[in-house]
Amino acid sequence: MKEGMENPLCLKSLNHISLVCRSLTKSLDFYQNILGFFPIRSSFGFDGAWLFNYGIGIHLLQSEDPNNMPQIGQINPKHNHISFQCESMAAVEKNLKDMKIEHVKSRVEEGGISVDQLFFHDPDGSMIEICNCDVLPVIPLTGDTIRPCSLNTCNMQQQQIQQLAPMQIHQ
Where does residue 112 rank: exposed (0-12), middle (13-18), buried (19+ CB within 10 A)? exposed
Q: How far apart are CA 111 and CA 156, in angstroms?
A: 26
Across-strand partners of 131? 85, 117
DSSP string, 98-131: HTT---EEEEEEETTEEEEEEEEE-TTS-EEEEE
Return the amino acid letter for 60: L
Q: What is the pLDDT of residue 92?
A: 98
Span 13-65: which CATH code? 3.10.180.10
Asked about 87 being catalytic, the answer comes back as no
In the chain, count H helices and then E strands. Answer: 3, 8
φ, ψ (nearest 5 deg) of residue 143: 105, -15
Distance of CA 166 to the CA centre of its chain: 32
**How many CB atoms within 10 Å of residue 131?**
21
Class for the domain spanning 75-154 = alpha beta
In the chain, which segments carry CATH 3.10.180.10? 13-65, 75-154
Across-strand partners of 80? none
pLDDT in tens, the chain (171 residues): 555 567 889 999 999 999 999 999 999 999 999 999 999 998 777 789 999 999 999 999 999 999 999 999 999 999 999 999 999 999 999 999 999 999 999 999 988 999 999 999 999 999 999 999 999 888 887 755 555 555 444 444 445 444 544 444 443
The catalytic position among 6, 64, 102, 129 is 129
